[in-house]
Amino acid sequence: MPSQAKRQRKKESARARQEALRLAQERAARRRRFLLIGGAVVLILVILFLTQRSDNKKSTVSTKGKTTTTVASPAGSAQCPKADGSSPKTTKFDKAPPVCISITKKYTATFDTSEGKIVVDLDTKKTPSTTSNFVVLARYHFYDGTTIFRTDPSIDIIQGGGSSPSDPGPGYTIPDEGGKFTYSAGDLVMARTSQPNSAGAQFFFVAGPKASALDAQGTYVTFGKVTQGLDVVQKILGLNVDNPSSGLGGAPSRPVTIKTVTITES
The mean pLDDT of 40-52, rounded to a whole number, is 43
51 or 77: which leads in pLDDT: 77
The mean pLDDT of 250-264, rounded to a whole number, is 97
d(CA 158, CA 147): 10
- What are phi and psi for residue 69, nearest 5 degrees? -105, 130
The count of other CB atoms within 10 Å of the CB of residue 46 is 10
- Looking at the chain, the number of H-run helices and the number of E-run strands are 3, 13
**Using CA of residue 139, residue 141, residue 142, residue 146, what is the dihedral sign?**
positive
Ordered alpha helix ranges (H), the chain: 2-56, 128-139, 230-237
In the predicted model, is pLDDT for residue 5 greater than 70? no
d(CA 74, CA 138): 16
d(CA 239, CA 119): 20
* Cα 264 to Cα 92, 167, 207, distances in angstroms: 23, 27, 24
User: For residue 129, what are the contacts with CB-CB under 8 A and spacing of at least 6?
Assistant: 99, 174, 175, 177
**Using CA of residue 90, residue 95, residue 100, residue 106, what is the dihedral sign?**
positive
- Nearest by Cα to 266 from 127, 109, 113, 61: 109
* Cα 12 to Cα 5, 16, 19, 24, distances in angstroms: 11, 6, 10, 18
In the predicted model, is pLDDT for residue 34 greater than 50? no
In the predicted model, is pLDDT for residue 71 greater than 90? no
255 or 168: which leads in pLDDT: 255
**Residue 11's pLDDT is what?**
61
**Residue 27's pLDDT is what?**
60
**Using CA of residue 139, residue 183, residue 160, residue 191, what is the dihedral sign?**
positive
- Nearest by Cα to 87 from 54, 136, 134: 136
**Residue 233's pLDDT is what?**
98
> Nearest-5° angle of CA 107, CA 125, CA 223?
65
What would the pLDDT profile of 85-128 be if each residue is shown by its tens digit? 999 999 999 889 999 999 999 999 999 999 999 999 999 999 99
**How high does pLDDT run on average in the chain?**
81
In the predicted model, is pLDDT for residue 218 greater than 50? yes
In the predicted model, is pLDDT for residue 43 greater than 50? no
